[in-house]
């Protein structure tokens, strides 16, 4: 998956999953870890940080803004953030399979 798409997918899917009562600790930890890294990277840009903290439906609405900010801050080249996004997707897939759902 292309780096920007990976980050956007992980953030949106993580927000959706973490908002559910059934979300496991591993999902919430991975999602919060990714959010922390993104907010740190977006330091000084209150709007970008607010979008990272947004509700799942608001993250989807702000996809264009997020793409712009990811490029502006070179987030797509940050190996730590890419690793965190991949870990979150893998965790979501693992929990989904365990719970009998379809993976992301």
In angstroms, rounded to a whole number, what is the distance separating the alpha carbons of residues 43 and 26? 26
**Is 31 in contact with 25 (CB distance < 8 Å)?**
no
pLDDT at 22: 82
Q: Which tokens in the block code for residue 24?
A: 């496991």
Name the residue range of residue 26's domain.
Answer: 3-98
Total domains, the chain: 1
99 pLDDT band, cuts 50/70/90, is low
**Is 34 in contact with 81 (CB distance < 8 Å)?**
yes
Mean per-residue pLDDT for 9-24? 91
How far is residue 3 from each of residues 22, 42, 71, 99, measured CA to CA in Å?
Answer: 28, 17, 10, 28
Is 104 part of any domain? no
Helix, coil or strand: residue 81: helix
Q: Look up the pTM and report it.
A: 0.88
Q: Which tokens in the block code for residue 2?
A: 């292309």
97 pLDDT band, cuts 50/70/90, is very low
Q: What is the pLDDT of residues 32-90, one digit of tens each?
A: 999 999 999 999 999 999 999 988 888 888 999 999 999 999 999 999 999 999 999 99
Is 103 part of any domain? no
């Amino acid at each position: 998956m292309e780096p920007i798409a990976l980050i956007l997918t992980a953030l949106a899917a993580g927000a959706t999953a973490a908002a559910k009562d059934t979300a496991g600790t591993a999902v919430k930890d991975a999602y919060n870890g990714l959010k922390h890294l993104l907010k740190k990277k977006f330091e000084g840009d209150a709007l970008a940080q607010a979008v990272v903290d947004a509700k799942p439906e608001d993250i989807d609405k702000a996809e264009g803004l997020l793409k712009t900010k990811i490029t502006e801050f070179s987030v797509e080249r940050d190996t730590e953030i890419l690793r965190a996004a991949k870990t979150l997707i893998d965790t979501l897939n693992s929990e989904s399979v365990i719970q009998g759902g379809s993976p992301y």
